Structure 1
Amino acid sequence: MKNSFYPILLAVAAVHAAPALAEAPAASPLLGSWAVDTARLTMPPEARPKSVTITYSDVGGGKWKTNVAVVLPDGKSVEATSTYVPDGSAVPVEGHFEADTAATRLPEPGVMVTALARGGVPGSMRTYTVSADGQTMTETVVYFKAGGVPAMRTNHFSRVR
């Protein structure tokens, strides 16, 4: 009777181990590079940047890196980067003219929420959503106008790679 117990124990262990042997989850559809459609930006054409490219990378260990490269209307390039665990914890942002701190969370596949601040003052909150086909992304920006009046704008991105 003792010997018949071991095959059952091995079968139970194999069933419980099966999820660990399953395929790794698919990479987030956010990962990769995205270029903004500058023609659709809600600012006068002369004030629009020549380009904005956001790249999201999985750098391992549960961490992501965001790199934002902007070519301003005058041709000057600026770049911002941050590396973080996407759990909503605040981290420093280097090189950004709008923010020096960010907190990012991934509430579900294809959705990212980021809060930005500069000098301890809240800036904007941005929600990025990837389309079902994975080729476009929208950015909804929540910010405050003069007098603390809340406002929103939407930016449209296409996948570069």
Structure 2
Amino acid sequence: MKDIAVDKTTLCPSARPEAEDSVVFGIISGTVAEPCVTYLKQPLPITDELIAKASPITPAEIFRTAAPCATKGCQHFDGQDCRLAMRIVEKLPPVAEELPPCSIRRDCRWWLQEGKAACMRCPQVITDNYNASEIAVEVATSAVG
């Protein structure tokens, strides 16, 4: 694993749309059973207008958003690494055959920490997924500690 400097430029690719300075970097496509992220060429700032376009569903059901990593303010951060990224790499199968065309990669905590292995699994990560598989739920909610 790479040693990552924690600063405002490191982005969490699984941030809530409500997070300060959040941007949309992907749109959820695919099916209910197999959702998939389609990446935008450039991230878009979250605006009230963009959130209104998501209505009546939550923005996190249709947008993948990133925001500056909250580090110690996040349940997944252990003081040095993102445990969510670690669990994604350990437990989820790759779904991409090549690196997705991601506009936040150079600043992405998952990429900086886990490299290509995280990117190959990223398209299946949906923040608000009400039809998540058992393994996806386990990855997202594993106990802190």
Q: TM-score scaled to structure 1, two decimals?
A: 0.24
Using CA pairs under 8 Å that are at least 6 residues apart, name the structure with larger relative contact order, 1 or 2.
Answer: 2
- Which one has the bigger helix percentage? 2
- Which one has the bigger strand percentage? 1
Q: TM-score scaled to structure 2, two decimals?
A: 0.26
